[in-house]
């Protein structure tokens, strides 16, 4: 079967965007041999979600969001 | 017409093309003929205690029809008495006062040995000295050449001893047979080197004859490792030049050596930080007159670019060379196939299917004609398809505009540490 990492990435990105649109923020990242577990938290409702990011593009995507988040926090 | 004159650590030369210390600079007869052809300088074949050479000394790799893609030698330093070499250096310099003559030197790692030879060669009017800490074969078994050049402390101390008595600029020639050439380059600078040159030849065994089972080359059925050079080593040498050029503690000029065959190679070396270049294999292959095309090509290139002096090229690409961790991970290129040029050989499809990301489809149009198309979403921009494509212009790598600002691995790691990554 052909590898279509792009489709896998789109799925990860959509999941990630879903939580971002609700106001979740990245609070922790666990890197492992199986990919990254990104811990997201919705502060006002004290809800925590974990996303397992397996694709390289997915890792780039959440890193871009994480850096934007950090820049906003540091302003 | 652009000015091709260079000044390398105080050594003037009418152009950046020097002959490297090697068989073509073995005698006054050869160097004078080289100067007649237009070479700007010559590093005389290494002087030291005269040696005995073997018969059968060279070998070459021919690759897919290209003769001498790589070259190997087991020849040692000069086999002629010092007095004869010095007489010929004197005569050559007298006849060509505007050309640079640099004496390559190799003696045992003893202070008095270095003092002795430096004084003798400077007396005949050389423009500079090059300390041979690079030859990987023969002399290294006697504690000289790369055997000294692989030990930073020996590079530093021997350079220091030379500088104690030298009146002319001292270039230290480095061996590539070391994990990190900047370690020995820095040692040379610490010892007082006025410039460094690189690379000397790479340890190599050219091959084995599968009928006789002898090594190539062999001497009466026995072989020993030699020094590899020629076009095949250029990428290795260029990286080492660049690594030294961008190193903050290696702040001396560089004489670039390694697979330089034409003016384009020269431009690359200069852009990557070399002030001048040294050539051997191209001359071994084609003779001294290759320099005519080199001079003309370089001159035309500078004129076309509107650059007044070749010295203005030196180091211009160095800021563009960094560590992997500083590269932009958000930058994206994809392959695009121009079906007007494509000959449907399917090399790109096979390469992508078997060795990359399976994103080039073989399709048929409405008329049943075959064509190839890239799925750009899955293309990672590896360049493999354009590398294997036999038709110039059939595959172009195209930049895509991204949604995010540049992002490097180093920035990512910093952000992860701030967020609390585990």
Pick the CATH number of B324-419 from 3.40.50.300, 3.30.70.20, 3.20.20.150, 3.40.50.720: 3.30.70.20
Please indicate whether residue B135 is annotated as part of the active site. yes
Confidence class for position A75, pLDDT limits 50, 70, 90: low
DSSP-based three-state secondary structure for B240? helix
At the fourth CATH level, the homologous superfamily of domain B6-318 is: Aldolase class I (3.20.20.70)
H or E, element range at B161: helix B152-165
DSSP result, B199-216: --PEEE--EE-TTT--EE
Q: How far apart are the C-alpha atoms of B171 and B40, rounded to whole Å?
A: 17
Write out the residue range of the structural domain in which residue A61 sits: 5-74
Contact residues, chain B to chain A, C-beta under 8 Å = 329-330, 357-358, 375, 377-378, 404, 407, 411-412, 415-416, 418-422
3-state helix, strand and coil shares in percent for chain B, rounded to the nearest 5: 35, 25, 40
DSSP B253: -
Q: Which residue has the tokens 């700007």?
A: B40
Q: Which residue has the tokens 């001048």?
A: B276
pLDDT for residue B302: 98
Cα atoms in the 13 Å half-sphere on the side-chain side of A4:
11
pLDDT for residue A3: 60
Query: Residues near A7 by Cβ (< 8 Å), separated by ≥ 6?
Result: none
Interface predicted TM-score of the whole assembly (ipTM), two decimals: 0.93
Q: Which residue has the tokens 């180093």?
A: B410
Q: How far apart are the C-alpha atoms of A53 and A68, rounded to whole Å?
A: 18
Best of A60, A61, A68, A70 to disrupt the B interface (most B CBs within 10 Å) is: A60
Nearest residue on chain A to B359, judged by CA atoms? A4
Q: Looking at the predicted structure, is the pLDDT value of residue A37 above 60?
A: yes
Confidence class for position A72, pLDDT limits 50, 70, 90: confident
The dihedral region occupied by B371, where left means phi > 0, alpha psi between -120 and 50, and beta the remainder, is: beta
Q: Are strands B58-63 and B41-47 parallel, antiparallel or unpaired?
A: unpaired
Identity of the residue in A3, A60, A70 whose CB atom sits nearest the CB atom of B407: A60
Identity of the residue in A2, A27, A67 whose CB atom sits nearest the CB atom of B407: A67
pLDDT for residue B422: 61
pLDDT for residue B277: 98
User: Which tokens go with B194?
Assistant: 């006025």
Number of domains making up chain A: 1
- Say yes or no for a CB contact (<8 Å) between A31 and B421: yes
User: Which tokens go with B178?
Assistant: 């070391």
Cα atoms in the 13 Å half-sphere on the side-chain side of B123:
11
- Say yes or no for a CB contact (<8 Å) between A28 and B420: yes
Portions of chain B given CATH number 3.20.20.70: 6-318
Question: How many beta carbons lie within 10 A of that of residue B201, not counting itself?
Answer: 29
- Say yes or no for a CB contact (<8 Å) between B412 and A63: yes
Size of interface A-B (CB pairs under 8 A): 48
pLDDT for residue A1: 53
Under 8 Å between Cβ of B167 and B155: no
pLDDT for residue A2: 62
A-chain CB neighbours of B330 within 8 Å are 60, 64
Nearest chain B CA: its distance from A3 CA (Å): 7
Which of B286-305 are b and which e, b meaning 16 or more Cβ less than 10 Å from the residue's Cβ?
Answer: eebebbeebbeebbebbeee
| Spans in chain B with pLDDT lower than 70 | 421-422
Query: Residues near B21 by Cβ (< 8 Å), separated by ≥ 6?
Result: B43, B44, B45, B46, B102, B104, B130, B132, B173, B278
Portions of chain B given CATH number 3.30.70.20: 324-419
């Amino acid at each position: 079967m052909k590898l279509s990492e792009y489709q896998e990435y789109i799925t990860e990105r959509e999941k990630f965007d879903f939580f971002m649109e609700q106001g979740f923020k990245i609070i922790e990242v666990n890197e492992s041999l199986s990919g990254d577990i990104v811990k997201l938290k919705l502060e006002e409702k004290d809800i925590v979600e974990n996303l397992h990011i397996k694709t390289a593009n997915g890792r780039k995507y959440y890193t871009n969001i994480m850096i934007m988040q950090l820049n906003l926090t540091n302003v | 017409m652009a000015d091709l004159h260079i000044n390398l650590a105080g050594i003037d030369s009418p152009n950046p093309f020097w002959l490297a210390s090697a068989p073509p600079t073995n005698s006054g007869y050869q160097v004078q003929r080289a100067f007649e052809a237009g070479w700007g300088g010559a590093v005389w074949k290494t002087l030291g205690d005269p040696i005995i050479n073997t018969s059968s000394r060279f070998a070459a790799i021919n690759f897919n029809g290209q003769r001498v893609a790589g070259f190997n030698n087991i020849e040692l330093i000069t086999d002629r008495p010092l007095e004869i070499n010095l007489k010929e250096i004197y005569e050559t310099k007298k006849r060509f006062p505007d050309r640079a003559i640099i004496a390559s030197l190799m003696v045992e790692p003893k202070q008095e040995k270095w003092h002795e030879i430096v004084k003798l060669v400077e007396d005949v009017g050389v423009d500079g000295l090059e300390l041979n800490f690079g030859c990987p074969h023969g002399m290294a078994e006697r504690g000289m050449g790369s055997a000294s050049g692989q030990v930073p402390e020996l590079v530093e101390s021997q350079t220091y001893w030379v500088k104690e008595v030298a009146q002319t600029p001292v270039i230290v020639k480095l061996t590539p047979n070391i994990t990190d050439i900047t370690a020995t380059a820095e040692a040379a600078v610490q010892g007082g080197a006025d410039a460094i040159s690189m690379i000397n030849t790479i340890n190599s065994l050219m091959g084995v004859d599968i009928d006789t089972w002898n090594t190539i080359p062999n001497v009466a059925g026995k072989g020993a490792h030699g020094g590899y050079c020629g076009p095949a080593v250029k990428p290795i040498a260029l990286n080492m030049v660049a690594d030294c050029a961008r190193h903050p503690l290696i702040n001396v000029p560089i004489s670039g050596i390694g697979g330089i065959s034409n003016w384009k190679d020269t431009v690359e070396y200069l852009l990557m930080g070399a002030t001048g270049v040294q050539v051997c294999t191209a001359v071994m292959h084609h003779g001294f007159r290759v320099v005519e095309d080199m001079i003309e090509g370089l001159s035309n290139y500078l004129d076309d670019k509107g650059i007044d002096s070749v010295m203005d090229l030196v180091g211009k690409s160095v800021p563009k060379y960094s560590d992997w961790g500083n590269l932009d991970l958000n930058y994206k290129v994809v392959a695009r196939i121009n079906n007007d040029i494509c000959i449907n050989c399917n090399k790109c499809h096979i390469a992508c299917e078997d060795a990359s990301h399976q994103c080039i489809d073989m399709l048929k149009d409405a008329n049943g004609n075959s064509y190839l198309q890239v799925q750009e979403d899955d293309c990672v921009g590896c360049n493999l398809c354009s590398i294997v494509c036999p038709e110039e212009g059939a595959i172009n790598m195209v930049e895509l505009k991204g949604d995010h600002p540049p992002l490097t691995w180093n920035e990512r790691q910093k952000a992860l540490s701030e967020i609390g990554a585990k």
